[in-house]
Amino acid sequence: MLKRFIKKPRALAAAAVLGLGAIGFAGQALADPNHSAPQGGAWTIENGEFKVAPRVDDHAPIGVMGEHRHKPGDLMLSYRFMRMWMEDNLIGKDEVDPAGIAANVPNIFFGNAPFPTGVAPNLRIVPINMMMDMHMFGAMYGLTDRVTLMGMLPYVEKSMEHLTFLGPRGTNLRGAFTTKSKGIGDISGTASIGLIDREAPDAEMHVDLLLGLSAPTGSTSKSDEVLTPIGTRPTTRLPYPMQIGSGTWDFLPGVTYTQREGDISWGGQWRGTVRLENSNDDGYSLGDKHMGTAWAAYRWAPWISSSLRVMAQTMEKIDGFDPLIVAPVQTANPNFQGGERVDLLLGVNLIAREDAGHLCGHRLALEAGMPVYQNLNGPQLSTDWTFTVGWQKTLGDC
């Protein structure tokens, strides 16, 4: 994996930008003692040391990552549980039922694959729903006033239910089956670099640059038992959406803007995922991904705030193909991946205050949402809803 990374000039260039950018900004921050302190509550002095009394709205909605920085030496630990439920197939913006897919959508492997996949002119297996759970373990460390480092370790679980149609054509059902996969996903590290910090009594504004790198630690070779149109149940490599990782080194750039005036806060973020390799060891690379989001929040009391957020994302099709992913199902077609989606989300942030004893500073946050627009390279399962709950704690902040 490391040798493949070293041979790629795009990967080396991204790593150089990440390292030099972080070192350069760190050096500038260390040389500038008058630089504003990073985001984080009301500063006080206790026993000659700086302490911070956390504000509940110091952080963005829990679904936004890497949107704040920490003061030097601060360590924040976090855990997020994220669930996505997908149901109903779309071609572009139009819904299509499983029988319509089986009757009308061509099988790209027709005539080019062994029996029974190669004898079916149209798709014979259609996914009808999918659930993805992600357990995200994270840590953030304040390197300097201007640079915070972040690491993320995901554990992913997926399940997808399918309908199998009888024989090489027609809309008679053979049966149903479910495939599952799970494992550690792609690990990432990111530097959040402060570009602008402005603070005034009961107000602040920050602009940060994000430079990250994702390593291909997630599996791209998961397999499970499937039901074929002729009734057999072989174990085969699962299609692309059921794999856990990308298989490539990826560059993770981003920019974050946050501002607060009294009890009202708002912000925006752009983040990208740029594949640094033309293909992984299995012969393909996932499409580049771009996400833009904006939110506003209101602090109702020192311990609670609520938020409204809109998120838009786009993902390109898969480039290349895995020769072991061959089946008369839409998820095996590299062209039936990616698309555009806009979500609307509601969130709540909670924080334990000084009177909570040892729980002081522990954060609990929730966010739930659903798409208001989807345009998919389909047929493809559409997203129905998403939900995130998370815990965060900066050690020593209370």
Q: pLDDT value at position 396?
A: 81
Domain that holds residue 91: 2-394
Q: pLDDT value at position 397?
A: 81
> Which tokens sit at 256?
């974050």
Q: Can you tell me the distance from the alpha carbon of 169 to that of 167, in angstroms, rounded to the nearest whole number?
A: 6
Q: pLDDT value at position 116?
A: 74
Q: pLDDT value at position 33?
A: 38
83 pairs with which residues across the strands? 133, 387
Domain count, the chain: 1
Q: pLDDT value at position 22?
A: 40
Closest of 141, 143, 191 to residue 19, by C-alpha = 191
DSSP annotation string for 131-177 = EEEEEEEEEEEE-SSSEEEEEEEEEEEEEEEEEEESSSSSS-EEEEE
**Is the entire prediction scored with pTM above 0.95?**
no
Residue in the structure block whose two tokens are 């640079």? 147
Q: pLDDT value at position 91?
A: 97
Q: pLDDT value at position 19?
A: 46
122: domain CATH number? 2.40.160.40
pLDDT 10s per residue in the chain (398 long)?
Answer: 444 444 444 544 444 444 444 434 444 433 343 444 444 444 434 444 444 448 999 999 999 999 999 999 999 999 999 999 999 999 999 999 999 999 999 999 998 877 777 788 999 999 999 999 999 999 999 999 999 999 999 999 999 999 999 999 999 999 999 999 999 999 999 999 999 999 998 899 999 999 999 999 999 999 999 999 999 999 999 999 999 999 999 999 999 999 999 999 999 999 999 999 999 999 999 999 999 999 999 999 999 999 999 999 999 999 999 999 999 999 999 999 999 999 999 999 999 988 888 888 999 999 999 999 999 998 999 999 999 999 999 998 87
Phi, psi of 55 (to 5 degrees): -95, 145
Beta strands in 173-234 (DSSP E): 173-184, 188-200, 203-214, 223-225
Q: pLDDT value at position 2?
A: 43
